[in-house]
Structure 1
Amino acid sequence: MRGIAVGLALAAVSACAVRTDQIARDPGVVRMALNGWVGYEASAEVLAYILREEMGYDVQLVRTDEQPSWQALDQGVLDVIVENWGHEDLMDLYGPEGNGTVVDGGPNGNVGGIGWYVPGYVVDEYPEIAAVDGLKEHTDLFRTAETGDRGEFLGGAPGFVTQDQGMVNAFDLDLEIVFAGSEASQITEVRRRYAEEEPVLFYFYDPQWLQEELELVRVDFPAWEPGCDEDLEWVPCDYPVYDMNKIFRTGFVEADEPSYQFLDNWTWTNEQQNEVARMIAEEGLDPTEAAEIWVDGNRDVWEPWLPEGRADR
């Protein structure tokens, strides 16, 4: 059965709240967060397909933003986040040193990188723009009708991990951040400007299938060091590298069912995620169909994720 996608309206809870992750649940159902970018969707859909078709589980894919996903784990209404980008503050709140309702599930195999990007044709004309000092001299290239005398920095979705305003402040860049609203909207706008060879400066990341289609250059900032991003209003450094991980509801781990064992075993690469994400976002395939194609063609990759003796539930 197709996974159910539903929205959540979740209230924040106190770090001292009583553990609620032991709410009675059907052990035949796995409830997975579905965050708002296609790479995450690719991972979730592949995992959901295998859980359903190979292990006999019902899977609920719950569409929600990053922070509410953690709140849903805490409240006992979700079981897993499959791609976490940092969020040490939320781990402090809900993890073993907080109220104990979530557990770090270890790496998912993806290595994440967030940064500022410009098209290669901009760097061809202004080579110095690939470093922050050169960018500072040429922010006027990115002026738009919306930003007036300031250059535009095209952000992604407002809920994504970001330190961009702190970087604008710390490096004294004459830029105004304009949020595209969603990953899909941002990609559409970047591709439009790229086709016209217009200047564009924007927030982007890996893994992301569009990186393989367009020639993009990441702007060089001073390397991230521990603590340099502590004050998000003043960030004199680049983003860190994210070794992305899974986050489990504590009760889901303690039950130690085959569904948990499978998700615990799962890791895959940026390239594998991009393969599925491209089918969904670029080729327009239904996410379940894209997952099925990948699963059918990569049995040697995913069979080791199955718990021993659990190829069919």
Structure 2
Amino acid sequence: MTGTRITDSRRTTIAATALAVGALLVALSGCGAADMTKQSSPFAAAKGAKSVTLSVQSWVGAQANVAVATYLLEHEMDYRVDTVQVDEIPAWDALSQGRVDAILEDWGHADQEKRYVEEKKTITAGGDLGVTGHIGWFVPKYWADAHPDVTDWKNLNKYAGQLRTAESGGKGQLMDGSPSYVTNDKALVKNLKLNFDVVFAGSEAAQITQIQQFAKARKPFLTYWYEPQWLFNEVPMKEVALPAYTAKCGDKGIEDPKSVDCAYPSTPLQKYFNTEFTRTGGDAATFLKNFRWTKDDQNKVSAMIASQGLTADEAAERWVKQNPDIWKKWLPGRK
């Protein structure tokens, strides 16, 4: 959920959804690289303790990854897990410096990958998560069914009046999540000459609440949204076709985000590890490299956390008990 992440491939979704994954949540949001010094897990001081530190991205799908990984590391492999919540780009700095051992869901940051993986070699690619992410603009299915042409961006200005809100200043509203998301949306509105204003809900959780309220009242809305996302099961939506994504547009966007005039790409989500952790992390490093599941698996756990009121640990435990045939293959020495 970022324009960096998006042009590189996705959104920076800051979810207000609570994550009760490990024993400790350390808030690092807003810390710059200059503020970060190398720091191992607080559990590492315990004699004989095996510890792992995982970065927790703030959207619920990423929280689901960490919840399940944490549960299995603690209950099946006798590790103690420390979790660190940090914004998307600073997470790369934290990983490089050894403040965290692994990021389990990255939506694509070519600039960070070049800097840390290719040049500094302080971060090592950890493999495919098994989930493909996609960002786009969406409208509710009930509205698209009544107005099929709204799913083509060229017709959006025709419907701007119906999408006007008190916050959009006389224009149609394009709802985004948090102001801290780095997205292409303002550039797209300008470059495609759309009579819309980007309005931020404040967080992923606030955006979900707003979508649910619109849907309950059967009101039209246009929102920046992404897959995988459990909310599609509750509020069916249709994507608005933006100008097709091309590598040329993506490369142009990396150099000058304000010039973007095409859709967001689909991105196979990736894991990244601190390079030293790949050498010294033992079974934990092997397990996290093997960790690979589907969009449906992630959405099941996400829905338990965000919609059904379970803690992350409770959701992970339920999924683990229901899916031993999947996770047992992740354990070292298993196939």
TM-score, normalised relative to structure 1: 0.92
Q: Does 1:54 align with 2:76?
A: yes
| Superposed CA offset, 1:89-117 (max 9, x none) | 111222222x2211121110011010000
Deviation at 1:29, TM superposition (A): 1.0
Show CA shifts across 1:170-222 (max 9, x none).
21111111111111100000100111111111010000001122120100012
The AA in structure 2 aligned to 1:49 is: Y
- CA gap of 1:123–1:2, structure 2 versus 1, over 3 A, is closer
Find the counterpart in structure 1 of residue 95 from structure 2: 73
Q: Percent identity?
A: 39
Task: Give the direction of change, closer, same or farther, for the CA distance of 1:283–1:78 in structure 2 (3 Å limit).
Answer: same
SS in 2 for 1:95: helix
Aligned equivalents of 2:55, 2:201: Cα separation in 1: 23
Q: Of the candidates 106, 115, 129, which is equivalent to residue 127 of structure 2?
A: 106
Is the contact made by 2:53 and 2:99 (CA closer than 8 Å) also made in structure 1? yes
Aligned counterpart, 1:211: 232
Instruction: Give the aligned partner of residue 171 of structure 1.
Output: 192
Contact 1:5 1:62 in 2 (8 A): yes
CA–CA separation in structure 1 for the residues paired with 2:133 and 2:23 = 26
Distance in structure 2 (CA, Å) of the matches to 1:45 and 1:31: 13
SS of the residue corresponding to residue 86 of structure 1 reads coil
Aligned to 1:43: 65
Distance 1:80 1:153 in 2: 34
Deviations 1:244-297 (A, max 9, x none): 000111111122510000000110000000001111111101110110010011
**Residue 248 of structure 1: aligned partner:** 273
Paired letter, 1:226: A
Q: 1:184 matched to which residue of 2?
A: 205
How big is the shift at 1:234? Answer: 2.2
What code does the residue aligned with 1:294 have?
W
Superposition pairs for residues 268-283 of structure 1, below 5 Å? 268-283=293-308
Counterpart position of 1:16: none
Verify the 8 A CA contact 1:111 1:243 in the aligned structure 2.
Answer: yes
Question: Within 1, Cα distance between the matches of 2:162 and 2:72?
Answer: 48
1:3-60 deviation per Cα after TM superposition (whole angstroms, max 9, x unaligned): 31111153225xxxxxx87979937111001111111111100000000000000001
Whole-angstrom distance in 2 between the partners of 1:305 and 1:21: 29
CA distance in structure 1 between the partners assigned to 2:92 and 2:32 by the alignment: 11
Tell me the secondary structure at the aligned position of residue 145 of structure 1: coil
Tell me the CA shift for residue 150 of structure 1: 0.9
Structure 2 SS opposite 1:227 = helix
Contact 1:22/1:251, CA 8 A, preserved across alignment: no
Higher relative helix content: 2
Residue number among 134, 143, 155 corresponding to 2:155 in the alignment: 134
Partner Cα distance (1:138, 1:225) in 2: 27
Q: 2:247 aligns to what SS in structure 1?
A: coil
Q: Does residue 296 in structure 1 map to residue 321 in structure 2?
A: yes
Give the letter for the 1:47 counterpart: A
The one-letter code of the counterpart of 2:24 is I
For residues 40 and 68 of structure 2, what CA distance do their matches in structure 1 show? Answer: 27
- Kept after mapping to 1: 8 A contact 2:67/2:313: yes
* Contact 2:41 2:82 (8 Å CA) reproduced: no
> 1:41 and 1:23, CA in 2 relative to 1: closer, same or farther beyond 3 A?
closer
User: What is the total number of aligned residue pairs between the two structures?
Assistant: 304
Say which SS state the counterpart of residue 263 (structure 1) adopts. Answer: helix
